[in-house]
Every structure is written in structure tokens, then in C-alpha cells.
Amino acid sequence: MAIRNFQQHTPKVGPRAFVDRSAVVLGDVEIGEDSSVWPLTVVRGDMHRIRIGARTSVQDGSVLHITHAGPFNPDGFPLIIGDEVTIGHNVMLHGCTLGNRILVGMGSTVMDGAVVEDEVIIGAGSLVPPGKRLASGYLYVGSPVKQARALSDKERAFFAYSAANYVKLKDLHLAEGYDQPE
């Protein structure tokens, strides 16, 4: 089963959202309407909350987790993801906050307490260090990330296109029953 209760928390999956049967979603997790969680992804809200907005796509092999509250971090860090975010294959998001209309390139890592403002592209293979803030409207690349340049109008238009494309694709997967156990 892809969706599991943990410590009295039941994941909430919004209307028309898709969670592939090979993904694992557990604990204090909310997934917004028309969002998608693709094969072999882990969304683990076992010690803090995870919130995923509407029309957001979490691609294959990604790991989404939190930072628990404890003596070294009294409040912990939840994982908050906005609307129309495309999270590439094999991305690690850990206790960070992502705004709306963001592309996180394949194989990237965004660490604890990092904040990514609206309309940002993070290039493939990038590392966003703990506590780093990425300002809206820019492409960031590297490990650690550096601001590369302002986004073009075409790149800004891509956010809505990408979100809509994954909404269509997840609808096809839902119609084939790939969210249901075999």
C-alpha cells in the first residue's frame, strides 16, 4: 500500500491527485488537488508535517522528508511546497520551503531551513545549503548554488506549461489504475 498512517496521522490526498502504487506516502502529509507523486518516491512525514500544493509534480525516485524538533532545533523544519512546482527525478527535499511555480532540476538537493521564493529554476544536480534563501525570478546552479541569471519570459511561462502537462499525464495514469494496489 502506497499510503500509510503513522502515529495517528493519515496522509490526505486531494481531489484528482495521483500517488503511484510504488511510491510511499506516510504520516502528516497533505497533497493538493491535481498533484502527482511518481514511482519509487518517498514522502515521509513521520516527525513533522509535509504540505504539497496543487498541480505539483514529484518525479520518480525523489525523497521528501523533514527535520524533527529537538534540542538542537527546537521547532524543527516542516517541508512546505507550493503550487505548480515541478520536482525533477531523484531530488532530495529536506525540511525546506518552496514557493509557487518552481522547477527543481533532476538530482538536486534542497536542505534544512532553505527557502526558495516563487518562480525559481534550480539547475540539475544543484545543492541548496541549509538556511539559504533563493530570490524570486532567477536561475540557480551549482553545488552550492549560485545565482546564474534572471529568468526569461519564456522560462517563466514554462512553469504553468509544465504543471499542466503533468496534470494531463497523471490523469492518464489514474485512468489506467496505477494508483491502485496490484
More confident call, 180 vs 94: 94
CA 97, CA 19: separation in Å to the nearest integer? 21
Over residues 43-69, the mean pLDDT reads 97
pLDDT for the residue 67: 94
pLDDT in tens, 127-165: 999 999 999 999 999 999 999 999 999 999 999 999 999
In sequence order, which residues have a C-beta less than 8 Å from that of residue 24 and are 6 or more positions away?
Answer: 2, 4, 41, 42, 43, 44
Average pLDDT along the chain: 96
pLDDT for the residue 1: 56
Instruction: Report how far Cα 57 is from the mean position of its chain's Cα atoms.
Output: 7
pLDDT for the residue 2: 86
Where does residue 26 rank: exposed (0-12), middle (13-18), buried (19+ CB within 10 A)?
A: buried
Over residues 20-42, the mean pLDDT reads 97
Structural domains of the chain sorted by starting position, each given as residue range(s) with its CATH number in brackets: 3-176 (2.160.10.10)
Where does residue 120 rank: exposed (0-12), middle (13-18), buried (19+ CB within 10 A)?
A: buried
